[in-house]
Structure 1
Amino acid sequence: MNVAQTVDAAQVGFSPDRLARIDRHFARYVDNGQLAGWQIVVTRRGEIAHSSCYGLRDREADLPVTPDTLWRIYSMTKPITSVAAMMLWEEGHFQLTDEISRWLPEFADMRVLTGGSNLAPVTVPATEPIRIWHLLTHTAGLTYGFNQASVVDALYRQAGYELFGPLGTDLAAACTAWASFPLLFEPGAGFGYSVATDVLGRLVEVVSGQRLDEFFAGRILGPLGMTDTHWRVDGDDVGRLAALYAPDPMTGQALRHDRMGALAHHEPHLHSGGGGLISTAADYHRFTQMLLRGGELDGVRLLGPRTLRFMTRNHLPGGRYLPELAVGGFTETTLEGVGFGLGFAVIEDPVPSRVPSSTGEFYWGGLASTAFWVDPAEEITALFFTQLMPSSTYPLRPQLRQLVYQALID
């Protein structure tokens, strides 16, 4: 599959001259050495209005970005896991208000941090159990070790859970470990970007009786024709994988990060529903088209349209926005005017962010600066791929929004 342009941009309301500004702008990042290369796809009304590649997928090997380049999508795995869980919800396996301990008993009798240090944490019993909707909305009180913003983060790191967990640890064992740590806050009382989606992936395993990778392959990736989306890259595909980079702290130049990048060549011991997949623009394009079309693509329906609309409402307690609830040091979204649904950030009010978008637009991104959004009001999807971590290095995502919407003239 490829992502070649399928329609004259003007036929779907875009100015071709204005769309060209996207490539000119992001080319400067490559020309300045800040990114090795990138790929961008913009669609409207189901047609690809703009598709472009620039720079190198592997700068040291002088290999260009091509339409079939493979990218580590990290947290863009999360929406796929959320779709998987909601597919099981649609089948009646659970209610969103159910306690997660019904399937994962290790999460019964959780405790909440109130003070102390990582050597002597002070905790009290949680008064609210972790429920399934808490996992979908990152309001469970869990965290990530790499956040480095709290005592609980430090406890995760001490146990080897900075990103993917100790070598040889599978998803079941990881959940047992995470359940042994105190929570950052009472479930439902805050927003903490976390391993919640990994725990959700374990729920998918227990409820379905399949490993997460098997469920993905049989129920989502295969039916949607996402044939290039995998948990590792091997064989003839190795040459298509983009190298991973991080900014030099002194110069800002992109430096190769093979220690972490090499993990993509090995079958993961922990199938991370929160950050484990590698994909292509063509494959993720199919996923976003399914979302735009209300859960269906090319005759394959994963979710009902009302389920998708429900998932992309703001489910944060009291309908509040993320700045009022966010705890910890890391999110992959700007927070102003933004709520959170069941697996996606949701734009409630575009004005506070000072970046054009539509009310009801939903999105997320990945650690290596990949990003997507779906705008049902304007019938737009947009995809951005590169391999620079962390995603907070440059304002790539708001700049892409700015440049896409300025090009829409109908």
Structure 2
Amino acid sequence: MQSLIASRGLAGAAVIVRRVGSDDDVERRYYGTYNAESRVPIASATKWFTGVAVAATAEQAGRSLDMPVGNCIPGLAPDRAAITVRQTLGHVSGLPSLGPAAERAHADLEASVASLMRLPVVGAPGEVFVYSGTAMQVAARCAEILAGKDFRTLFAGTITGPLGLTRTGFAAEGAPVTGGGLWSTPHDLEQFTAMIAGRGAAGDVRVLSPEAFDDISRLVSPAHARIVEIPDAARGFEGMATGMWCERALPSGACAVVSSAGAFGTYAWVDYEAGLYGVFVVQSRLPDVWPTWVAIRAALGSR
């Protein structure tokens, strides 16, 4: 880590690794100017936060993630209405990738989704895998309608409030960028990842029922879909669960290792087989720090 920080001229980093089901630290180190409360943009590490928030909202409403988005968003063309919520969270909706600037260039999610749904599709639902946060805007809008609340409010009610994540949130202006717009801290990321390690629960706080968590932590895509866009770091993974990477899957389809990574180098993961989970926080390019994250995981017992 010291070599990486020196060679890349980084301000610092945080490395936290813990044992699943205990309060034991395997490793906890802060480098340079970083500490538990250093607040940074986490880019696509936002995606599993959004996936859990949508899943929790659907569970509270008694709805399945396999429902067509037309069941909650009115006025869609038939081909768009047939896309399922799970397909938007698993990157196989067929919707194009626009990027964060286009996603936040609207007053709210309603306007963001209305604009997106007028664009040509990349392919039919389930036939193409396009890694993007754009389709997640649709899932988040569906959650807004199910909950009768704007996404920032339901996110606070399902995620940040229950888990005590006081320094995690979206920018106040424009539509929330639900696939990459969160800012957070090592502490808050650790708390959220502990909930993933606890299969929907952190201590006495349960965000998802065991059944709902099992539903979102099984391999979904790309399956037979043609890969159009995927990050280089994920090419060795099995694919996507619902809103999170499924790095390694069991024959049953349950994910043995799940994770979420961001373009600026943030990476959080849970290895259920090794009984470890971790949070790595830095501000760099993910390709520059990825070999170090892989090496640290391996050195600590998570292949």
TM-score for both structures, normalised by structure 1: 0.67
Answer yes or no: is 1:220 the counterpart of 2:159. yes
Q: How does 1:153-302 map to 2 (within 5 A)?
A: 162-166=101-105, 168-194=106-132, 195-232=134-171, 267-302=172-207
User: Matched residues in 2 for 1:212 and 1:333: separation?
Assistant: 29
Answer yes or no: is 1:44 the counterpart of 2:28. no
Q: Which runs of 5+ in 1 are unaligned?
A: 1-25, 56-63, 111-125, 147-160, 233-266, 351-357
Tell me: CA distance 1:315–1:141, structure 2 relative to 1, closer, same or farther (3 Å): same
1:302: Cα distance to partner? 0.9
1:94: Cα distance to partner? 2.4
Answer yes or no: is 1:327 the counterpart of 2:232. no
Q: How does 1:309-328 map to 2 (within 5 A)?
A: 309-316=214-221, 319=223, 325-328=226-229
User: Matched residues in 1 for 2:205 and 2:301: separation?
Assistant: 30
Give CA-to-partner distance per residue, 1:71-112, whole Å, 9 cap, x none: 1112222111111111123234422332212222343234xx
User: Matched residues in 1 for 2:291 and 2:204: separation?
Assistant: 33
User: Matched residues in 1 for 2:232 and 2:44: separation?
Assistant: 9
Could you tell me which residue of structure 2 aligns to residue 132 of structure 1? 85
Tell me: CA distance 1:337–1:84, structure 2 relative to 1, closer, same or farther (3 Å): closer
Give CA-to-partner distance per residue, 1:127-169, whole Å, 9 cap, x none: x9211121121100123234xxxxxxxxxxxxxx745442x53
User: Matched residues in 2 for 1:131 and 1:360: separation?
Assistant: 25
Query: Secondary structure, in 3 states, of the residue corresponding to 2:170?
Result: coil
2:40/2:185 contact within 8 Å kept: yes
1:404: Cα distance to partner? 2.4
Answer yes or no: is 1:91 the counterpart of 2:69. no
1:268: Cα distance to partner? 2.3
1:306: Cα distance to partner? 2.7
Letter paired with 2:297: V
Q: Which is higher, the Rg of structure 1 or of structure 2? A: 1
Letter paired with 2:294: R
1:337: Cα distance to partner? 4.3
User: Matched residues in 2 for 1:69 and 1:278: separation?
Assistant: 10
1:315: Cα distance to partner? 1.2
1:85/1:200 contact within 8 Å kept: yes
2:68/2:84 contact within 8 Å kept: yes
Answer yes or no: is 1:100 the counterpart of 2:39. no
1:399: Cα distance to partner? 3.0
1:226/1:283 contact within 8 Å kept: yes
1:179: Cα distance to partner? 0.1
Query: Secondary structure, in 3 states, of the residue corresponding to 2:4?
Result: helix
Root mean square deviation of aligned Cα = 2.5
Could you tell me which residue of structure 2 aligns to residue 371 of structure 1? 267
TM-score for both structures, normalised by structure 2: 0.88
User: Matched residues in 2 for 1:217 and 1:337: separation?
Assistant: 31
Match of 2:10 among 30, 35, 55: 35
Q: Which runs of 5+ in 2 are unaligned?
A: none
Query: Secondary structure, in 3 states, of the residue corresponding to 1:41?
Result: strand
User: Matched residues in 1 for 2:232 and 2:54: separation?
Assistant: 21
Query: Secondary structure, in 3 states, of the residue corresponding to 1:180?
Result: coil
Answer yes or no: is 1:306 the counterpart of 2:211. yes
Give CA-to-partner distance per residue, 1:231-266, whole Å, 9 cap, x none: 24xxxxxxxxxxxxxxxxxxxxxxxxxxxxxxxxxx
User: Matched residues in 2 for 1:368 and 1:107: separation?
Assistant: 35
User: Matched residues in 2 for 1:214 and 1:93: separation?
Assistant: 19
Runs of 4+ in 1 over 4 A off after TM superposition: none
Give CA-to-partner distance per residue, 1:37-83, whole Å, 9 cap, x none: 2111111133222111223xxxxxxxx22221111112222111111
Letter paired with 1:192: V
Could you tell me which residue of structure 1 aligns to residue 31 of structure 2? 54
